[in-house]
Homo-oligomer: A and B are copies of this chain.
Amino acid sequence: MKLYGYFRSSAAYRVRIALNLKGIEVEQVGVHLLKDGGQQHQPSFRARNPQGLVPALELDDGTILTQSLAIIDYLDSIHPEPRLVPAEPVLAAKTRAAAFAIACDIHPLNNLRVLGYLKGPLGRSQAEVDEWYRHWLLQGGLEPVEAMIEGGRFCFGDQPSLADICLIPQVFNARRYKVDISHLKKIEAVDAHCKTLPAFLAAHPLRQPDAEP
């Protein structure tokens, strides 16, 4: 399988963590979101993903899967161990809700194309864009997620789940954009623990083949 991604894309980062947790090896193909006017917009990539977004997972028969959470559900069905969503329905729903609160209610508002629209067509200043980022990250955002998760070593229970897979890349973004999240004690504890685990470490943006300083 081939994973089309970008080292800093938090959606690609999620899929890398899931692949590592399951011990699935893939070939990584870098799609540079900033070079050449955005390689994700080129016809060769749009043919793979009409949304022009990373990640995309190409299966050995050429089938292309897109949307990080759909890819992770696929990995969970073809390679069920370890489970990334608990079997018990209520716990599964809480795990997915925390994941979706990040993947639907934070990430799409703060990704490159939206920040570009704020700066370009809407002509907003860097300070306004930074405040937008901080606002949706926190209030949008990680503050409710802090209330939604159980906390401990992981968001829920004793094993990494889809919630942690979405949380850790979002915390990486928060730190990169220098948003203070020190009041979110459960999130900080989960982040500190996951950082020690090989599956999360190996998925880190700066450890990818296409990483840049």
Chain A interface residues (CB < 8 Å from chain B): 49-53, 59, 63, 65-67, 69-71, 73-74, 77-78, 89-90, 92-94, 96-97, 99-101, 103-105, 107-109, 114, 117-118, 121-122, 124, 128, 131-132, 135, 143-144, 147-148
Contact = CB atoms under 8 A, between A and B. Distances in A.
A78 B89 contact: yes
Nearest to A63: B90
A90 B61 CA distance: 11
A51 B148 CA distance: 9
A105 B105 CA distance: 10
A90 B121 CA distance: 38
A122 B67 CA distance: 30
Contacts of A73: 92-93, 96
B65 A94 contact: yes
Contacts of A93: 65, 70-71, 73-74
A67 B96 contact: yes
19 contacts: A50-B144, A51-B101, A51-B148, A52-B144, A66-B148, A69-B104, A70-B94, A70-B100, A73-B92, A73-B96, A74-B89, A77-B89, A100-B103, A104-B104, A109-B109, A109-B114, A121-B128, A121-B131, A122-B132
Contacts of A118: 122
Contacts of A69: 96, 100, 104
Given A90-B74, A122-B124, A124-B122, A100 B67 contact: yes
Contact of A108 (B53, B99, B109): B109
B67 A104 contact: yes
B74 A92 contact: yes
A97 B70 contact: yes
A9 B111 CA distance: 24
A135 to B, nearest CB: 7
Given A69-B100, A107-B104, A131-B121, A50 B90 contact: no
